[in-house]
Amino acid sequence: LKEKSQKDEL
Partner 1 sequence: MNLFRLLGDMTHLLSIVVLLLKIRTVKSCAGISLKTQELYVIVFLTRYLDLFTKYYSVYNTAMKLVFLGTSIGIVWYMRYHKVVKQTYSKDEDTFKHYFLILLSIILALLIHRAFDVIEVLWTFSLYLEAVAILPQLVLLQKSRNIDTLTGDYVFLLGAYRALYILNWVYRFLMENHKFRWIPWISGLVQTALYADFFYYYIKSWKNREKLKLPA
Report in angstroms how near the CB of residue 2 gets to partner 1 at its nearest: 10
Gap between the Cα atoms of 2 and 8, Å rounded: 12
Binding mask 1-10 vs partner 1 (x if CB under 8 A, - otherwise)? ---xxxxxxx
Q: Provide the minimum distance between the beta carbon of 6 and partner 1 in the complex, in angstroms, as a whole number.
A: 5
SS3 for 9? Answer: coil
The single-letter code of the amino acid at 7 is: K
Distance CA 10, CA 5 (A): 12
Least distance from C-beta 9 to partner 1, angstroms?
7
Site of interaction with partner 1 (CB under 8 A): 4-10
